[in-house]
């Protein structure tokens, strides 16, 4: 009998489909029907009825017209969400990359330092998230870049406007926009560190996957550390920059503090306008996919894949 065999490419394809099969099964079983049903709801008004559950009233494109021409907050929140993405994602990527580079070095307490940098991700997913609706919670103080003296209750630390004055005195006037960008990052330092934990792990894994023989050969040839960074390290992990960019964009657009997410929750859950909330969510989703496609198209031209 003829022996059945698969090529290397086919075996890799089977392993790839096996790797994503849990997601595909979960999506089909739990998300596909709500996914399609939300599209249907976006063209209807949902009439809540106590006896029969709910009824659908056809509205056509009325929900889409309403959010752009009538709703006073949708366009403003949409622009704010896009602006926050362009402001936060570069800072998150830069911070997580340099943090991973430092954590990849050999020093005492390296394991503890890695745990500390990832700790905000674990904490924010647990009990601390309950304080998000409390304006007096500790998290609001951390977002402002401040600390509290437990004995006096006074706020201490370097405020963003003090940092802005200091940088404006040190830098020329044409650097003022960059000063505003830096001080804005200081104001959002808790959220930025909180959003960088996964990216740090990804970059750390990417740095450790670079073959040491490459650096050994380059040092023998007389290359400096700066040249190794731009000729070896950066190209070898460029594909992981793409992965972290996608993750950071999605994480920023779907964050709890994102104004559009708060708007969708208010319209859909509090006001129970499910049709309008579905239409808003689908337009938001389409804009995210469009922006992500453009960014990935531009970045993919610079990505180097090591075989």
Question: Which two structure tokens, joined as six digits, stand for 121?
Answer: 């991700």
Judging by beta carbons within 10 Å of its beta carbon (0-12, 13-18, 19+), is residue 208 exposed, middle or buried? exposed
Q: Does residue 257 belong to any structural domain of this protein?
A: yes
Considering the domain boundaries, does residue 106 fall inside one? yes
Whether residue 209 lies inside any domain: the answer is yes
Contacts of residue 164, Cβ cutoff 8 Å, sequence gap at least 6 = 179, 180, 183
**Three-class SS of residue 81?**
helix
Rounded Cα distance, 197 and 121, in Å = 6
**Domain enclosing residue 119, as ranges:** 69-147+190-300
Q: Is residue 293, in this structure, part of any structural domain at all?
A: yes
Strand partners, 46: 56
Residues 6+ apart with CB under 8 A from 213: none
Q: Where residue 99 sits, what CATH number does that domain have?
A: 1.10.3720.10
Per-residue model confidence (pLDDT) at position 173? 60
158 domain-assigned: no
Q: What is the 3-state secondary structure (H, E, C) of 179-225?
A: HHHHHHHHHCHHHHHHCCHHHHHHHHHHHHCCCHHHHHHHHHCCCCH
Supply the pTM of this predicted model: 0.72
- The phi and psi torsions of 57 (rounded to 5 degrees) equal -115, 120
Residue 248 burial by Cβ neighbours in a 10 Å radius (0-12, 13-18, 19+):
buried
Would residue 171 count as lying in a domain?
no
For the chain, the domain total comes to 1
pLDDT recorded at residue 25: 93
Residue 76 lies in a domain: yes
Within a domain: 7: no
- Walk along the chain (307 residues) and give the pLDDT tens digit of each residue: 556 678 888 888 899 999 999 999 999 999 899 889 889 988 988 877 656 667 788 888 888 998 888 888 888 889 988 988 888 888 889 888 988 888 888 777 777 777 777 666 666 554 455 444 444 444 444 444 444 433 333 344 444 545 555 555 555 665 555 555 565 666 666 777 777 888 888 898 888 888 888 888 888 888 888 888 888 888 888 888 889 999 999 988 988 778 888 888 888 888 888 888 899 999 999 999 999 999 888 888 877 776 6
Give me the residues paired with residue 54 across strands. Answer: 48
């Amino acid at each position: 009998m003829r022996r059945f065999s698969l090529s290397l490419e086919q075996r890799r394809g089977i392993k790839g489909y096996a790797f994503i099969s849990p997601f595909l099964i979960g999506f089909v079983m739990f998300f596909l029907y709500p996914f399609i049903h939300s599209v249907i709801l976006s063209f209807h008004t949902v009439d809540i009825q106590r006896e029969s559950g709910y009824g659908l009233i056809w509205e056509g494109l009325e929900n889409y017209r309403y959010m752009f021409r009538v709703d006073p907050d949708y366009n403003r929140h949409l622009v704010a969400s896009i602006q926050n993405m362009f402001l936060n994602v570069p800072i998150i990527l830069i911070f997580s990359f340099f943090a991973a580079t430092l954590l990849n070095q050999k020093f005492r307490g390296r394991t503890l330092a890695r745990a500390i940098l990832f700790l905000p991700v674990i904490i924010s997913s647990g009990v601390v998230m309950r304080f998000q609706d409390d304006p007096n919670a500790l998290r609001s103080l951390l977002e402002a870049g401040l600390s509290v003296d437990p004995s006096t209750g006074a706020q201490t630390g370097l405020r963003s406007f003090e940092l802005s004055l200091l940088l404006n005195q040190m830098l020329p006037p044409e650097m003022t926009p960059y000063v505003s960008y830096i001080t804005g990052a200081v104001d959002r330092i808790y959220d930025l560190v909180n959003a960088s934990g996964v990216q740090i792990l990804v970059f750390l894994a990417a740095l450790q996957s670079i073959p040491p023989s490459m650096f050994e050969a380059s040092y023998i040839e007389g290359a400096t550390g700066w040249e190794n960074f731009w000729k070896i390290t950066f190209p070898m992990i460029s594909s992981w920059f793409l992965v972290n960019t996608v993750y950071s964009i999605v994480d920023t657009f779907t964050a709890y503090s994102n104004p559009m997410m708060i708007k969708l929750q208010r319209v859909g859950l509090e006001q129970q306008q499910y049709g309008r909330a579905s239409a808003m969510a689908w337009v938001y989703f389409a804009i995210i996919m469009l922006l992500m496609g453009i960014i990935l198209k531009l970045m993919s031209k610079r990505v180097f894949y090591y075989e």
